[in-house]
Amino acid sequence: MALTLSDVEKIAKLSRLSLTDEEKAQNLRELNDVFVLVEKMQTVDTEGVVPMAHPHEVALRLRADAVTESDHTAEYQAVAPEVRNRLYIVPQVIEE
């Protein structure tokens, strides 16, 4: 797939960019180069290749799961007009 100059002008208009003729030509070349690269990548045989979550074989360093904060819920909810089951109760703003 190759773009034309009118495609670049349409993209620039949608992006609200004002480009000179030179910039349009440069963007056209660069975008078409991207499409050429994508087409080359699509020709690569990936049959039997297992997808990777990360390009490096590294184990994640995990920290111990420990509580570092105390529970301040009662303090925070003490100033609320209405609380039920640790939830803030607010007036209904959308009618059914």
Q: What is the pLDDT of residues 23-57, one digit of tens each?
A: 999 999 999 999 999 999 999 999 999 888 888 88
Range of the domain at 18: 5-42
pLDDT at 73 over 90: yes
Residue of 52, 47, 58, 3 whose CA lies nearest to 29: 3
- Round to the nearest angstrom and report the end-to-end CA distance of the chain: 51
On whether residue 58 sits in a domain, the answer given is no
Helix (H, G, I), strand (E, B) or coil at 83: strand
pLDDT confidence of residue 58: 80
Q: What is the pLDDT of residues 74-96, one digit of tens each?
A: 999 999 999 999 999 998 888 76
pLDDT (mean) for 20-25: 96
Place of tokens 């990777």: 52
Contacts of 81 (CB under 8 A, 6+ apart): 89
Task: Give the count of domains, the chain.
Answer: 1
Whole-prediction pTM: 0.51
Q: Give the CATH number of the domain where residue 20 resides.
A: 1.10.20
